[in-house]
Every structure is written in C-alpha cells, then in structure tokens.
Structure 1
C-alpha cells in the first residue's frame, strides 16, 4: 500500500464504515432491563419519585402527589476509551489484513460496555444504595399492604438453613415504562484516527493510531421491578421469589403488577434455568421433604430466559 494523503483518507473512510456498521450487530442484554436516558451534562440528577397511589375517581379537585427534588440521586458520566497502533512499515507492506477485524473488535467492546456497567451494578446491588436510600436489593424496602397500611417488602432471597449458596440469579419486570436499571449516555462511541503523515505520532514514532472513546454511565432504577436470589435455582425457590415480587401493593390497595417476565442467570446456572423454564417435567420435592420425584413443571414457558456472561458466577452466601 502506498502511503499518501489519498490512500490514508480512503483507509480512514473504510475504517469508520467498518466500525459504524458493526456496532448495531452486537448482541447485548442491558436494553431488556434498563431505561436509556440521554445526558447533556457531566451528570444527571434524578428526583426520588414517590410511589403514585394509583388512579382514583375524579371527585372535587385533583389530588396532587408531589415529586420531591430534595431526595435525589446523581449519576455521573465517565469517559471510556480503547486504542491500538500499527507500524508504518506493516501498513506499507500490506500487513494489515487484521485491521478491519481489530476495528470491529473495538466496536464490539464499545457495544458491550453498557452490559458490563449495568450488570456490574447488579452484582453489587445487595450492598449499594438505590434511589430509596436502602440497598437496591434489600429486605426492608418501604411499601404498603393491600389495605394501604405501611409495611416492608423484600426483593432479595438468600439460601435457607439447609441450602447451599448458589450463584446469584435475577428476576425482572420489564413491562412498565419505569425499568429496574438506568443506562445514561452522554456521548456515543466513535472512532478517531491519527493517520496523516504530518501527525506527530507518525513523524516521531512511525506509527498510525486508531482509538475509540465515549461517555456514559449506569445507575439503579426502580427496585420494585427487580429481584435477586442466591438460593438454589429450584422450582420451589423460583415460586417463592415470584410470590415475593407479587406481594407489593399501591397505597390504594391495588396490586403493583410487579410479576416478573424475565429471568437472568449466569452461564453456570444455564442448565437449571432451562430445565425450569423449558421442560414439562422436573424433579420435585416429595411430601416427606427429603426425596425428589418427577412431577409436572408449573414454570414451563412462564418466563423469558436470558443467560448473561457478565453476571458473576462465583458462589457466595451474602
């Protein structure tokens, strides 16, 4: 390849096209559980949205439910980058057959970053504060029962006294405008090249460079629609977790409609998850509570399954 202004401009155009075409093809999971919110500053400030009590018959004046900006949380944008370089001699001698795959890998890494950020937060959600001032996954979130009386609800299930800890698995309700997680985007990822002969890096180091950068962040959304468990992924525990999610009520006593529609599992639990959600018959605990028998599977086809490699596969009892 001849190194001149024309050839380098053509190469830059080809690289930009390869990057921009590849990003939309990358499979990602964060969009299933996260609201994507644009950002126009270094950080976004979110008010704590007090739970709306539900629809009422309009008699007299409207009843206002104030959204307080005094209780609020902030998500700060961060800048992420990745870059590589090629010696001029390698480019001159046409030793750049790997260039397009390398650029596509940059695109894949940029497209996967939201997964890394969102699911990284999930893994620490049992010890990180959410929008209500409690841990995102906690045993005593503020709620109400069906009579409107203040009570607590839990969106976390730990192993029982006779159970061993399992890798964490998660349930989500994603059928509402408010989602369990937030992905905040400030500047989309784009590729930048330093390939002009007059560039300092070319003149001084005899190298051409390509780099990707963007600004974004992730944060916690509505905890009512998220559930974490480190109890074994069995039919009994799945039923218990679903029941706990559904036990939430609005202040007027109406159900919160928080029944989950998707189960997220790490790759180490894929077999158990598929058996629970895709098979018609599974082992079930016998009446003696000691042995197992084969029985009809009540959870077959009830939830979508997402096996996510970004979920930490380590077993821990926390």
Structure 2
C-alpha cells in the first residue's frame, strides 16, 4: 500500500530538483524587458502615454493629459503536469521523475523568455498603448507638449518580408517591453494517499504553475524591421531611433544599444557588429556599435 511517507519523501526530492531547474535556466528576457509585478487579474498601462521629458518651468507645472484609451494586459495561466506511476513508487524507480521535475523548473523560465521575445516578434501586428501596432509607421505625437495640436506621426519600423530583427534601447528607465508577473513559478503536488487520481489511475501528479504575460512598453524604445539585415538598413534604423521626438517635438535622447535577432539573421548581424574590418580591409564603423543578442526565442 502506498504510504504518506513515500509521497512526502518523493515531494521533497521533486521540489529540490524543481528548484535546481529554476537555477539552471538563463533568464534571457531580463536582457530586453523589465519586471512589472501584478496584483490582480490584469494590469492597466495608461501611464505609458507620458514619456518623461524635462522642460523649463515657466509659470505653472505642465500637466499632460493621460490618453483615454486604456491598454490592458490580462494575466494568463500556464501549467506543466507530470504523472507518477504508483508502481514506480512501490518499486523505488523514481530517478526519471527527478529529471522531469528539473526540466519543468527550467521550462517555467523558458516560458518567460518565450513570451517576451515572441511578443517582440509579434509587434508588427499587435497593438500597444497608443492603439497602433507596436512596430508601425504612424505612431501619433502632437505639436504641443500637453498632447494637443496638430498630429505628427512617427515610424518605428522598416517594411519587408524577411525574419524580424529589432533594435532596442534598454539602458533607460522607460522600457520597450515588460514581463508582467502575477505569480512566480510554483511547484504543486497531490500529496494525499487517498485521492481520486490515485484510485482511478494509480497515479500521483505533480507540476508547476505560473501566471502573467508580456506587455508592450514604450514604442519609442524600439525599432522593428523585416527588411534584409544589411549595414545600410541597420544604420537607417539606428539613426531613425536617435531622431525620435515626443509631443511638442522635443528630442527624447533615444539611442539603440541592443540588436535582437533570431537564428535566421545571426550571420548577417555578426558581420555588421562583430568584425572590426570589412571585406576590403577598411574599418567597420558599426563594430560593437550595439550589443548583439542572438536568441532562439525570436
């Protein structure tokens, strides 16, 4: 008969391996995103309409109206479940389940990486706080600093049909993308000897749970392209970011510091950024201009 001691000992082992898996995975999402803690079913990002820019204080303070359009991000729920045969517990044949528990811990971190980088890749067809796609040709800015006056549109994308590559400004407080987390990765396990799962299937189940999602931040800190990754296109995107202006046509001081590419653009990105000299022997002016992130998650 399955005993409570056997289940408790198994849980202790699996939690240890789960925690080992959490420690093994690299949290690559932290290279491009910042964490936003969530305390409910969703978060509202109305504050994103106010990109912080100092101005001379003349008369009263300048109060910029928050845009009426609210940007909501609901927390999604994710799980990974593994079933343990009671026969394996009886036979003390449990080594493989430790490996699975460790892998589940790793997978919870992989999920965060996947959500952030897939959100960047989907930015060409997903809306951000201003109602436009995150990467779009016509983000609205206005002639006056308070968000009124004539409309001036700004593009933060290059059109094309290739694999996406993305320039980001990650060294400023405003972030291009956020990881919204309602619940940290949590280990759960059925620990009762007398359970429906045990009675019906002769199994004990364990798994992990996480709640949250990726959220688009300031489009001003990002530039997306599906054009060929050439030196000319890279330089055009880099210069375009540096010329971004906010309401009142005030310079934002944005400079790209990171290039994110998937495996399809790895070689092209390395040719632009990691070679000190070009094929003809002349100096490469783009050498180490920005940090390069090659990720399988994009």
TM value normalised by structure 2: 0.90
Q: Which runs of 5+ in 1 are unaligned?
A: 160-164, 284-292, 312-318
Q: Report the structure, 1 or 2, having the larger helix content.
A: 2
User: Within the alignment, does 1:151 sit opposite 2:152 as a pair?
Assistant: yes
Return the offset for 1:267: 1.1
Q: Name the CA shift for 1:67/1:87 in 2 (closer, same or farther; >3 Å).
A: same
Q: Give distance in 1, aligned partners of 2:166 and 2:180.
A: 22
Equivalent residue in structure 2 for 1:303, among 276, 280, 290: 290
User: Within the alignment, does 1:16 sit opposite 2:3 as a pair?
Assistant: no
Contact 1:35–1:178 (CA under 8 A) maintained in structure 2: no
Q: Give distance in 1, aligned partners of 2:44 and 2:272.
A: 40
Superposition misfits of 4+ residues, deviation over 4 angstroms: 251-254
Contact 2:127–2:134 (CA under 8 A) maintained in structure 1: yes
Q: Give distance in 2, aligned partners of 1:53 and 1:187.
A: 29
CA deviations over 1:224-259 (Å, ceiling 9, x no partner): 111111122121111111011111124455531211
Equivalent residue in structure 2 for 1:125, among 123, 126, 139: 123
CA deviations over 1:29-60 (Å, ceiling 9, x no partner): 22222221111111112215334573233343
TM value normalised by structure 1: 0.85
Equivalent residue in structure 2 for 1:198, among 187, 194, 200: 194
Q: Name the CA shift for 1:94/1:259 in 2 (closer, same or farther; >3 Å).
A: same
Return the offset for 1:144: 6.5
3-state DSSP of counterpart to 2:46: strand
Q: Which runs of 5+ in 2 are unaligned?
A: 144-148
Contact 1:195–1:202 (CA under 8 A) maintained in structure 2: no
Return the offset for 1:71: 1.9
Please name the residue that 1:280 is paired with.
Answer: 276
Q: Name the CA shift for 1:74/1:257 in 2 (closer, same or farther; >3 Å).
A: same
Please name the residue that 2:177 is paired with.
Answer: 181
Indicate the RMSD between aligned Cα atoms, in angstroms: 2.3
Contact 2:75–2:212 (CA under 8 A) maintained in structure 1: yes
CA deviations over 1:136-175 (Å, ceiling 9, x no partner): 1111112369xx985322111124xxxxx43111110011
Please, which moves more after superposition, 247-256 or 213-222? Answer: 247-256
Please name the residue that 1:79 is paired with.
Answer: 77
Q: Give distance in 1, aligned partners of 2:224 and 2:249.
A: 25
Q: Give distance in 1, aligned partners of 2:107 and 2:39.
A: 24
Please name the residue that 1:135 is paired with.
Answer: 133
Please name the residue that 2:49 is paired with.
Answer: 50
CA deviations over 1:191-244 (Å, ceiling 9, x no partner): 111243212211222112112112111221110111111122121111111011
Contact 2:21–2:101 (CA under 8 A) maintained in structure 1: no
